[in-house]
Amino acid sequence: MRRVLKLAAVGAAATMVLAGCGQAPDSNTGSTGSAGGTADAGSTSTGEAAGDFKACMVSDSGGFDDQSFNQSGKEGLDAAKDELGIETVEVESQADTDYATNVNNLVSQGCNLTIGVGFLLEDAIQTAAEGNPDSNFALIDSAFSDAEFKPVELDNAKPILFNTAEASFLAGYLAAGMTESGTVATFGGMQIPSVSIFMDGFADGVAKYNEDNGSDVKLLGWDKDKQEGAFSGDFENQSQGQTLTEQFIAQGADIVMPVAGPVGLGAAAAAAGADGVKLIWVDSDGYLTAAEYKDLMLTSVMKQIGAAVQDTVAQTVEGGFTNEPYVGTLENGGVGLAEVRGAEVPAELQTKLDEYKEQIISGELKIETPNAP
Amino acid sequence: MSDQPHASSSHGSDAGSEQAVAAAPPAAVGTEGGHGPTRRDDDGGSVLHQILSGSALMSALAIVLALLLGGLLIAFADEDTRAASSYFFARPTDTLAAAWDAMWQAYVALFRGSVLDWQADSVVGMVKPLTESMVFSVPLILAGLGIAVGFRAGLFNIGAQGQIIVGAIVAAWLGFAVDLPPVVHLLVAVLGGVVGGAVYAGIPGVLKARFGANEVIVTIMLNYIAVYLISYMLKQPSFNPGRTGQRSPAVQPEALYPALVPDALVENDFRLHWGFVVAILATVFVWWLLERSTTGFQIRAVGANPAAARTAGMSVGRITIITMVIAGALAGLAAGGQVLGTERSLTAGVAASFGFDAITVALLGRSRPWGTFFAGLLFGALKAGGFLMQSLTQTPIDIILVVQSLIVLLIAAPPLVRSVFRLPAPTPRPRRPRPARTTPKEVAA
């Protein structure tokens, strides 16, 4: 035991000595100078007009390292900071009870634009927007509603929404065309509109394929008419996602779409343990973000939260803030289907997909869902 | 820190007993409670010595030490400090200055966010942080009192979380679904929460009293049931007109706790409500219950020695059930404060982690009513200040959790704190064993 401790101590000391041996920078700017040349744009004003602008963001209880929408939101804000040289503040919430306090703190700190990530921050952002008419707000994944749950519009708050059904329709059509077992599946994290909408589109895509080809591809995990289906219960518990996916596989599914953020990794683990099962990732391109499972990824239904945040910030900095909801669609590229890799899509199916994409963009084909933004 | 092993080896016996006492709070509390009358006699001893070795000072020093250690973590988490430490040997002052700067800024922000924000424009804005600390302390104090009562009876009630959730479901439902005249509505909703919590805590009480089921296991399992119960309830049509499964309708205004500082007095945007007064009253009640009432005496007797209490003719089972019901009722009051005062509707996360933080609060308060009260205030302040600390200085919010845990960890090890600050050991304990150990030596010499 002694020896281990000694070795550890020597090792730690050596690391510290080595780590501390760098050259001191010549500049005499004091503690703000960063030796490694890391980005310190946050603390220094770039001298442009944008330097006075402060954009702030509050996460939901998932935190900014959730490999899902909180993270995408933060990446968008970071990108805006690098591009525009504005100041940004990001705060994480640990529990539902933290939202109001976090939002209020940011507003009183002088944030020009405060962005709430996720449906759960609706009340906090709405209350703050009503109480601070001079600041601007944005809310990702939800519109605003009054006490009776009727939609309302606020002059200084912009909902950032995504009509993901359009893209997941294509994913459903593709899945139905690619399945060999004739069974596909999907499950969600929590039954909230921003999750169910993925599953609605997916269900419609499968149904459309069956209609076009007179086939009988079965969908497990979601009943669009009843709005009932399989949910893992949260956005954290990966083993729950694994169990659900194993059950789907046991029932013959060979393509699974988990709509549950990091819980999708549990689905990937289950798919990796089975033969010939593919996944459809959501939010980001799973081929890149969940790289250890990239061989399993058929495609991804992408939701460009980061780009939407960046655009909203840029717009506000330029003085063009509007309370008009931003709705990501296939047309404006806010949602989309990632490149299909690792599988040959039959030319006929690909033509159909392109055709439907055109029809959705032109408005000829409408994906109806009760969860639409 | 170098004299730490020395201290613990020379005072081996008393350090050991101290640790044992601190590690098992119910027992500690029980023993002290058992010596209730003698505590007053102690006042005659050396006052300075009493203060230096007393538990209040030990708690305060543990807090200081935890804040210092937390400060080190803040410094290490700070990017400027890390950047400067890469050339530590070329110019060490940079690192130290940056570390000090990070720590100072963070704690200033913590203070500004929890007590007094002197940079605010108005007096109302200046004291708002203090009111926020009080808001966050309400559930911590109330649930902490419940845990403390359990500790005094020798019960480890880990189920405050579940009791808060069930209390919150009942209180919220009565708050939004029932129509009643103003004052009555609030009372009914608060009472509903109390009953909900009490019934839910009564389950492990009965199971322990009748069948000897371990209350730790039962309450932990009941916590899980409560978590899934609330998400099930939120999906039911009556709780969920928004069809989102996330949030109940807002509680009707008649059922809300009124603001503690009315707008008529000062124009303000405080969230502070009468729930804080309820917390004070509950503290007084628990003090009376434990120190002055017959039931309280029985609770302490059962906690000190169940066998002796049984021999003395007390029904241990009955006291167990009563204690759990009181603990649950207090947790239900905490739930009422949340849904009828602070949050004003029911969400799946309405209980946050108050039920578990309350255990820490009760430990820090050494299961004393007023100790729990002030511990709750401190944790409320840490929570409220943490928000500003994070948003102003980008200090990770988890540091606050680390500081809270360090405080409790240090409180559980009084000899450690004592040796760090070079304080004398308490007299009452060592006096007895010491003569016993030294006399034989003298005789031999």
Q: Does B291 touch chain A (CB under 8 A)?
A: no
What are the residues whose beta carbons fall under 8 Å from the beta carbon of A337, sequence distance 6 or more? A167, A170, A171, A174, A299, A300, A301, A302, A353, A357
Q: Does B310 touch chain A (CB under 8 A)?
A: no
Beta-bridge mates of residue A282: A301
Q: In degrees rounded to 5, what are phi and psi of residue A280?
A: -115, 115
User: What is the arithmetic mean of pLDDT over B28-45?
Assistant: 41
DSSP character for A368? Answer: -
A135 token code pair: 């600041």
The residue of B76, B78, B86 whose CB has the most chain A CBs within 10 angstroms, and thus the best one to mutate to test that interface, is B86
Provide the ipTM: 0.71
Q: How far apart are CA A93 and CA A102, in angstroms?
A: 7
pTM: 0.78
Whether the per-residue pLDDT at A46 is higher than 60: the answer is: no
With vertex at residue B411, the alpha carbon angle to CA B406 and CA B414, rounded to the nearest 5 degrees, is 125
Position of tokens 């990501």?
A: A328
3-state secondary structure of A19: helix
Contact B84 A31 (CB under 8 A): yes
Contact call for residues A137 and A115 (beta carbons, < 8 A): yes
Nearest to A20 among B85, B242, B353 (CB): B85
Amino acid at B357: D
Contact A123 B247 (CB under 8 A): yes
CA distance A96 to chain B (A): 5
B432 token code pair: 């007895």
Q: How far apart are CA B33 and CA B41, in angstroms?
A: 14
Contact B391 A30 (CB under 8 A): no
Chain B residues in contact with A33 (beta carbon < 8 A): 83
The tens digit of pLDDT for each residue in B321-356 reads 999 999 999 999 999 999 999 988 898 888 889 999
Share of chain B above pLDDT 90, in %: 51
Nearest to B83 among A17, A38, A123 (CB): A38
Contact A96 B387 (CB under 8 A): no
What is Dmax (Cα atoms) for chain A? 76
State the number of CA atoms in the 13 A half-sphere of A22 facing the CB.
Answer: 20
Whether the per-residue pLDDT at A299 is higher than 70: the answer is: yes
Q: Does B264 touch chain A (CB under 8 A)?
A: no
The residue of B140, B246, B345, B356 whose CB has the most chain A CBs within 10 angstroms, and thus the best one to mutate to test that interface, is B246
Confirm or reject CATH 3.40.50.2300 for domain A49-162, answering yes or no: yes
Contact B349 A97 (CB under 8 A): yes
Contact B384 A17 (CB under 8 A): no
Contact call for residues B25 and B367 (beta carbons, < 8 A): yes
User: What is the arithmetic mean of pLDDT over B112-136?
Assistant: 91
Chain A residues in contact with B394 (beta carbon < 8 A): 42, 89-90
Whether the per-residue pLDDT at B428 is higher than 60: the answer is: no
Amino acid at B373: F
**Residue A32 CA from chain centroid, whole number:** 33
Contact call for residues B138 and B171 (beta carbons, < 8 A): no
State chain A's mean pLDDT as an integer: 85
Whether the per-residue pLDDT at B248 is higher than 90: the answer is: no
Contact B387 A91 (CB under 8 A): yes
Whether the per-residue pLDDT at B416 is higher than 80: the answer is: yes
Chain B residues in contact with A131 (beta carbon < 8 A): 269
Whether the per-residue pLDDT at B151 is higher than 50: the answer is: yes
State the number of CA atoms in the 13 A half-sphere of B49 facing the CB.
Answer: 10
State chain B's mean pLDDT as an integer: 83
CA distance B174 to chain A (A): 17
Q: How far apart are CA B243 and CA B241, in angstroms?
A: 5
Q: Sign of torsion, CA A287 A291 A295 A296?
A: negative
**Pairing verdict, β A255-259 and A278-283:** parallel
Contact call for residues A132 and A108 (beta carbons, < 8 A): no
Amino acid at B331: A
The tens digit of pLDDT for each residue in B256-299 reads 999 999 888 888 888 999 999 999 999 999 999 999 999 999 99
Q: How far apart are CA A121 and CA A59, in angstroms?
A: 9
CA distance B379 to chain A (A): 14
Beta-bridge mates of residue A187: A258
Confidence of residue A172 (pLDDT cuts 50, 70, 90): very high
Quick one: closest CA in B to A87, which residue?
Answer: B392
Nearest to B89 among A20, A91, A106 (CB): A20
A227 token code pair: 């709005």
Contact A97 B342 (CB under 8 A): yes
Q: How far apart are CA A264 and CA A280, in angstroms?
A: 10
Other CB atoms within a 10 A radius of the CB of residue A42 amount to 14
Q: What pLDDT does B370 receive?
A: 93
3-state secondary structure of B54: coil
Per-domain residue ranges of chain B: 142-381
Confirm or reject CATH 1.20.1290.10 for domain A164-303+343-362, answering yes or no: no
Q: What pLDDT does A27 receive?
A: 52
The residue of A101, A125, A130, A145 whose CB has the most chain B CBs within 10 angstroms, and thus the best one to mutate to test that interface, is A101
Nearest to B83 among A36, A56, A106 (CB): A36
Contact call for residues A283 and A56 (beta carbons, < 8 A): no
Beta-bridge mates of residue A283: A302
The tens digit of pLDDT for each residue in B359-404 reads 999 988 889 999 999 999 999 999 999 999 988 888 888 888 888 8
Contact B98 A31 (CB under 8 A): yes
If 0-12 CB within 10 Å is exposed, 13-18 middle and 19+ buried, where does residue A181 land? middle
Q: What pLDDT does A352 receive?
A: 92
Chain A residues in contact with B97 (beta carbon < 8 A): 30-31
Q: Please give the helix or strand (H or E) that residue A328 lies within, else none.
A: strand A326-328
Q: Where in chain A is the domain with CATH 3.40.50.2300?
A: 49-162, 164-303+343-362
